[in-house]
Amino acid sequence: MDGWTWESLDREEEELAAEAMAEQAYQARQAARQLEEERWVDGVVEEQERRERERANARRKSSEQPPKSRIDRPKDWVEWEAAVAPFGLGIVASGAEGGGGRGLVARRLFACGEIVLSSQPIVFVVNQQSLKTCCHHCLARACRLLVCSRCGCARYCSVDHQRAAWEEHRDECALLSRTRPRVPGQTIRLLARLLSKLRRSVKDDSGVHSQPEAGDQVLRASRRGEEGANPPQVPAADAHRWAMSPSGISSLPHQLTAQPDLRVREFREQGAMLCSLIADVAGISSDPTAVAIADGTTSCLETAGHTEEKSNGQVLPARTGSKCSHGWAAAPLPGAQVVAEMISRLSLNCHTICDEELMELGVGLYPVAALANHSCIPNVTQSFGPNGQIFFRALAPIECGEEITISYIDIAGACAERHQVLKDTYLFECSCAACARASMCTPAAEAHERERAFMAAALREAQQAEHDALDREDWSVALAHARKGCELGEALLPHHNPSLGLQYLRASKLYAHLGDLQEAVACSRRALSILCVTHGDESSLVRKAQEMQRALQMELAYGVAPG
């Protein structure tokens, strides 16, 4: 009993009693919190059931009502209906979630993982980071690419792909050769391709540009709805061609007047730079307004989103078929206002093209796919194939009459974060069921959003730490962060989310590398259950994951077999 006194024993007893009281208080708080959470969950379930009943009633009423007349619908309604009808889709007056005035709706039942829509881009470009690593025609990554000798920018994985891409690259090549070795940003390059495509479209329809202001007419077809002109009546067989035409592109919203002033000026500067460059290449006069803006922004070409390009692969000769190997001299330039509207339209309606591992490759314009509205709990996901082809796949069974929605942004964050990104980028606020639940003014909802914001930040930190550990080849640390990413992803993301599937796939590879075959197989199964839905069984990523899973199972079976 050396060192012990009655006073010290009393203090020990008091401390133990205080700890017991603190533990009781903690348990009481936990029980109260659990009760509050259960009440919140019950309220959420009731709200979901109420919304589902309202949607079912609305669908029933809409099916009972006679179809609206052509006069009551937007001028382009029939054309878009005909364009999406081959996919088993229709057009619905929507936009409460996605911010537009219309959306896509299922006209039949779609199974989980089924392709809902597929489309080729009308134009696409690779981003600045992928200029030297991707084929500019098929978007395949390759170590050795053939380089266009004229512009020094375009790269192709084969001579056949260079020939196939020449029609799209011809006008672009003339512009890039003037800026060489600098390469304009993807917005300028995408707009240049779109202008070239629209000019060729108008020329193909009319034979030649016979009007003095034909350049403005090419893009001002995109303002017909505002000027009161009717879009062309397109037969069902030509509906897709109409959707990829100037009239179809015109139908997509630009909302230039709703853009922030700083962004509008940026759009005007970008348009002015491109118009000045085209005028220089074609030897023609640009719009006076465009020239006036360009005079004050000539330095932008030196600073705004350009990279140094040096040819490091085999050089391909530029393809020339006549004295003038481009079509920019075919018509006068459009006005700066029209070009600014087109840039705004691109900013709102383009899709970021990614590879199978969700690494960004470029950006493309898909008029039909652009009709899909946003939801923070989407029922389809998008993936991309060769040549930038986009696929919408169902994340769950989709009933007839249900709206088709995708996620425009990362949906792991809290509601306030998602709303801010959507407002800044797409000029609307989401009102989907997830955002409606999060916006409830209740203590439980607010606590849930604070916890979600904390978990979203933790997920990003874990993913970044995982990538850093992989770069250092510290496999154990990478695995610890990968496991944390899987746990947080399960809590924040929908059941079938491609990011979550890739997270499990990385964890499976790390487990296998460190010799834990059982966990590797378990993570591989979870990854494949997601990726088969989001990417499709024919995906090369899925096939490789399946081969890896079979190899792991064989190795595991061999390891546990009796000796």
pLDDT tens per residue, range 144-191: 899 999 999 999 999 999 999 998 899 999 999 999 889 999 999 999
3-state SS, 187-256, equals HHHHHHHHHHHHHHHHHHHHCCCCCCCHHHHHHHHHHHHHHCCCCCCCCHHHHHHHHCCHHHHHCCCCCH
Give the DSSP H/E element, type plus range, for residue 361: strand 360-365
Measured CA to CA, the distance from residue 413 to residue 96 in angstroms comes to 21
Among candidates 425, 421, 381, 429, which has minimal Cα distance to 405? Answer: 381
Mean pLDDT of 367-395: 94
Mean pLDDT of 276-294: 59
Position 411 scores a pLDDT of 93
pLDDT per residue as tens digits for the range 322-345: 344 566 765 566 777 888 899 999
3-state SS, 414-438, equals CHHHHHHHHHHHHCCCCCCHHHHHH
DSSP state of 77: H
Q: Is the pLDDT of residue 321 over 50?
A: no
Confirm if 496 and 381 have CB atoms less than 8 A apart.
yes
Q: Is the pLDDT of residue 551 over 60?
A: yes
Position 250 scores a pLDDT of 85
Mean pLDDT of 380-397: 94
Position 286 scores a pLDDT of 46
Position 339 scores a pLDDT of 87
Share of the chain above pLDDT 70, in %: 75
Phi/psi at 360 (5° precision):
-70, 135
Position 363 scores a pLDDT of 96
Whole-number average pLDDT of the chain: 80
Position 229 scores a pLDDT of 42
Confirm if 508 and 479 have CB atoms less than 8 A apart.
no
pLDDT per residue as tens digits for the range 35-78: 776 776 677 667 666 766 666 666 555 554 444 444 345 557 88
What are the tokens at 468?
């850093």
Measured CA to CA, the distance from residue 210 to residue 203 in angstroms comes to 9
Measured CA to CA, the distance from residue 410 to residue 179 in angstroms comes to 35
Position 56 scores a pLDDT of 64
pLDDT per residue as tens digits for the range 298-318: 222 222 233 333 334 455 554
Q: Is the pLDDT of residue 192 over 80?
A: yes
With b for 16 or more beta-carbon neighbours within 10 A and e for fewer, the 263-297 pattern comes to bbebbbbbbbbbbbbbbebbeeebbebbbebbeeb
Amino acid occupying residue 110 = F
Q: How far is C-alpha 106 from the geometric centre of its chain's CA atoms?
A: 21
Where is average pLDDT lowest: 114-128, 382-396, 406-420, 427-441? 427-441
Position 99 scores a pLDDT of 43
**Banded model confidence at residue 214, pLDDT cuts 50, 70, 90:** very low
Q: Is the pLDDT of residue 7 over 60?
A: yes
Q: Is the pLDDT of residue 223 over 50?
A: no
pLDDT per residue as tens digits for the range 509-524: 999 999 999 999 999 9
Position 275 scores a pLDDT of 86
Measured CA to CA, the distance from residue 554 to residue 146 in angstroms comes to 42
**Banded model confidence at residue 373, pLDDT cuts 50, 70, 90:** very high
Which of 251-265, 297-311, 477-491 reaches the highest mean pLDDT?
477-491
**Bridge partner residues of 106 (DSSP):** 89
**Cα dihedral 399, 44, 499, 368 in deg (nearest 10):** 40
Mean pLDDT of 386-404: 94
Position 211 scores a pLDDT of 37
Position 289 scores a pLDDT of 41
Pairing of strands 403-406, 103-106: antiparallel
Q: Is the pLDDT of residue 442 over 90?
A: no
